[in-house]
Amino acid sequence: MNEESKKTSCCSGKPSPKPCCQGKKEEPEKKLKWGIFGEYVTGRIETNEGPVPRVAAQLNRSDKWEGMKVRMNINRMNYSVTPGIYAVGNPGKDSIVLVTSNYKLTFDSLRKELNNLDAWILVLDTRGINVWCAAGKGTFGTDELVNRIEETGLKNIVSHRRLIVPQLGATGISAHEVRERSGFTVLYGPVRASDIPAYLQANMKTTPEMRKVTFNLIDRLTVAPVEISQGLKIMLIICFVMFLLSGISTAGYLISWPHSIFPVINVIIAYFCGTLIAPALLPWLPGRSFSLKGAWAGVIGFACLYILGLTGNEVLRSIGWLLLIIGFSSFLTLNFTGASTYTSLSGVKREMRFAIPTQIAVSAAGALLWISGIFFHITL
Amino acid sequence: MRKDYYLKNVTTLTLDKNKCTGCGMCKTVCPHAVFEIIDRKAEIIDRDACMECGACSKNCAFGALMVKSGVGCAQAVIQGILKGKEPTCGCSSDTPGQTPGKANVCCG
CB atoms within 10 A of CB A58: 12
Give the best-scoring range by mean pLDDT among A49-53, A280-284, A376-380.
Answer: A280-284
Which of B11, B25, B75 is closest, CB to CB, to A338? B75
Which residue of B3, B5, B6, B28 is the best one to mutate when testing the A interface, meaning the one whose CB has the most A CBs within 10 A?
B6
Q: Any CB–CB contact under 8 A between B97 and chain A?
A: yes
Distance CA A273, CA A281 (A): 10
> Do A133 and B50 lie within an 8 Å CB cutoff?
no
Least confident of A114-118, A153-157, B18-22, B89-93: B89-93
Q: What is the mean pLDDT of chain B?
A: 84
Over residues A172-192, mean pLDDT: 98
List CB contacts (< 8 A) between A191 and chain B.
31
A348, A349, A356, best to mutate vs chain B, most B CBs in 10 Å: A348
CB contact burial A227-238 (16+ within 10 A = b; e otherwise): bbebbeeebeeb
Given an 8 Å threshold on Cβ–Cβ distance, is A344 in contact with B73? Answer: no
Tell me the pLDDT tens digit for each residue of B51-103: 999 999 999 999 999 999 999 999 999 989 998 888 876 554 443 333 343 33
Share of chain A above pLDDT 90, in %: 81
Closest chain B residue to the Cα of A208, Cα to Cα: B33
Checking if the pLDDT of A286 tops 50, the result is: yes
* Partner-chain contact A347 B10, CB within 8 Å: yes
Dihedral angle, C-alpha A312, A317, A323, A328, nearest 10 ° = -70
Q: How far is B77 from chain A (nearest CA, A)?
A: 7
* Domain parsing of chain A, residue ranges: 3-211, 217-372
The answer to whether the Cβ–Cβ distance between A290 and B30 falls below 8 Å is: no
Confidence of residue A287 (pLDDT cuts 50, 70, 90): very high
Residue spans of alpha helices (H) in A202-289? 208-211, 217-230, 232-245, 262-272, 278-281
pLDDT grade for A251, boundaries at 50, 70 and 90: confident
Cβ contact A295:A345 at 8 Å: no
Among B54, B23, B31, smallest CA distance to A190 is for B31
Cβ <8 Å between B107 and A12:
no
pTM: 0.86
- Determine the average pLDDT of the residues in B32-39: 97
Find the mean pLDDT for residues A309-330: 94
Is pLDDT at A18 greater than 80 in this prediction?
A: no
Q: Tell me, what's the pLDDT at A304?
A: 97
Chain B: closest CA distance from residue A317 (Å): 30
Q: In whole angstroms, what is the distance from residue A220 CA to residue B69 CA?
A: 23
Cβ separation A346–B11 shorter than 8 A: yes
Give the model's pLDDT for residue B90.
Answer: 58
Of A322, A280, A327, nearest to A301 by C-alpha is: A322
DSSP helix/strand/coil, B3: coil
Residue B106 binned pLDDT confidence (cut-offs 50, 70, 90)? very low
- Which residues 8-27 in chain B show a CB within 8 A of chain A? 8, 10-12, 25
Q: Residue A379: which pLDDT band, with cuts at 50, 70 and 90?
A: confident
Over residues A339-349, the pLDDT tens digits come to 999 999 999 99
pLDDT given at position A366: 97
pLDDT of residue A78: 86
The pLDDT value recorded for residue B3 is: 85
Q: Given a cut of 50, is residue A64 above it in pLDDT?
A: yes
CATH code, residues A3-211: 3.40.50.11600
Looking at the predicted structure, is the pLDDT value of residue A281 above 80? yes
Mean pLDDT in residue range A98-127? 96
pLDDT score, position A36: 57
Question: How much is the mean pLDDT over chain A?
Answer: 90
3-state DSSP assignment of residue A123? strand
Closest Cβ–Cβ partner in A129, A170, A338 for B74:
A338
| Domains defined along chain B, listed by start | 14-66 (3.30.70.20), 71-108 (no CATH)
**Closest Cβ–Cβ partner in A1, A136, A288 for B71:** A136
Q: How far is B49 from chain A (nearest CA, A)?
A: 7
Please enumerate in sequence order all residues whose Cβ is within 8 A of that of A339, keeping only pairs 6 or more positions apart, or say none: A223, A226, A227, A279, B106, B107
ipTM over 0.90: no
Cβ-defined contact of A346 to B12 (cutoff 8 Å): yes
